[in-house]
Structure 1
Amino acid sequence: MHVLLLADTHVPARARDLPADVWAAVDRADVVLHAGDWVSEDLLDRLATRSRRLVACVGNNDGAGLRARLPLVAHVDLAGVRVGVVHETGPASGRERRCDQDHPDLDLLVFGHSHIPWDTTTPRGLRLLNPGSPTDRRRQPHATFMTATLREGRVEDVVLHRLEPRTARS
């Protein structure tokens, strides 16, 4: 199962729309996982319509309309992988320990908030992935998103995709 990981899209606050490369990845994905900070319900509606399947949560920059439609933490089983999608996990220091404690029943936790790509595995084996942001790189060298393959209970082929500055400003 091919999954696309997104977070911190901030449309239209940081960009008019998602970059074309991201929309192409949406079209190829079996599932889109979005870890919050949409900013507009319009993007949620368009992504839900265009994707085969969308699993998403609300972020700290999302207003009342998005908060009414999305959970704080989304849970789903995909190809035998127990997945959680959450916006915030707290500071980088101690993240693995906290996530092991806070999400004991997950195999994969997708998160956002920092706009900083992250890929680690906790001591108990929980995979932590933050795709960064495809529209607001902040202090990072590139705007980013991730793809991965979920197969028979495993997370495989995790790829961080870097967007060129001109494509990240759609």
Structure 2
Amino acid sequence: MSTRLLLLADTHVPRRARRLPEQVWRAVAEADLVVHAGDWVEEALLDELEQRSRALLAVWGNNDGPGLRARLPEVARAEVDGVRIAVTHETGAARGREARCEQAFPATDVLVFGHSHIPWDTTTPGGLRLLNPGSPTDRRRQPRCTMATAVADAGTLREVTFVPVER
């Protein structure tokens, strides 16, 4: 058995976009688990994702107010088909990220994070995979908005793909 993942972060609805693009909602419908690394901005999007996704693993971000912080943790963890996943919003500066995260997230196979809006995929010397899906609504200095998909299967994360999002 395997689990199809959709990785999101920094949706900023309705601040950066009035709503998520339909392409993202199609990906939500196809995913077994949606992972959201924070910066929702309003609770309505969390409500909608909870209703429309099969399962949701999510955290709050620095742009999320008291309502979202009351409903979501700062760090979320789950084991998905043998893959130990942790989710947080912010990991600090790119410089030294691998060492910091490896120390802060022991016994973790994959750390999903957001904040920068910059897609990121690296693996630390100790084997921790760091993934930032970018933002599906606010590309900032990137050529396009993005989200990511992956498959968890028998203790391995495979088929990690950064997907351009049309707005």
- Same topology, TM > 0.5: yes
The one of 103, 106, 109 equivalent to 2:105 is: 103
1:149 aligns with 2:166: no
TM-score by length of 1: 0.96
Q: Is this contact kept in 1: 2:24–2:165, CA < 8 A?
A: no
Moved over 2 A (4+): none
Counterpart residue type for residue 87 of structure 1: H
Paired with 1:106 and 1:163, the residues of 2 have a C-alpha distance of: 28
1:140 aligns with 2:137: no
1:2-13 aligned at under 5 Å gives the runs: 2-13=4-15
Paired with 1:15 and 1:8, the residues of 2 have a C-alpha distance of: 11
The one of 50, 55, 58 equivalent to 1:56 is: 58
Give 1:63 deviation, angstroms.
Answer: 0.4
Taking only the aligned residue pairs, the percentage that are identical comes to 64
Gaps of 5+ in 1: none
Paired with 1:2 and 1:64, the residues of 2 have a C-alpha distance of: 31
Give 1:117 deviation, angstroms.
Answer: 0.2
**Aligned to 1:67, what secondary structure does the other structure show?**
helix
Question: For residues 20-59 of structure 1, what are the alpha-carbon distances to aligned partners after superposition, in whole Å with 9 as ceiling and x for unaligned?
Answer: 1100000000000000000010000000000000000000
Gaps of 5+ in 2: none
**Aligned to 1:65, what secondary structure does the other structure show?**
helix
The one of 37, 41, 50 equivalent to 2:43 is: 41
Counterpart residue type for residue 29 of structure 2: D
**Aligned to 1:13, what secondary structure does the other structure show?**
coil
Question: For residues 98-130 of structure 1, what are the alpha-carbon distances to aligned partners after superposition, in whole Å with 9 as ceiling and x for unaligned?
Answer: 011000110000000000000000110011000
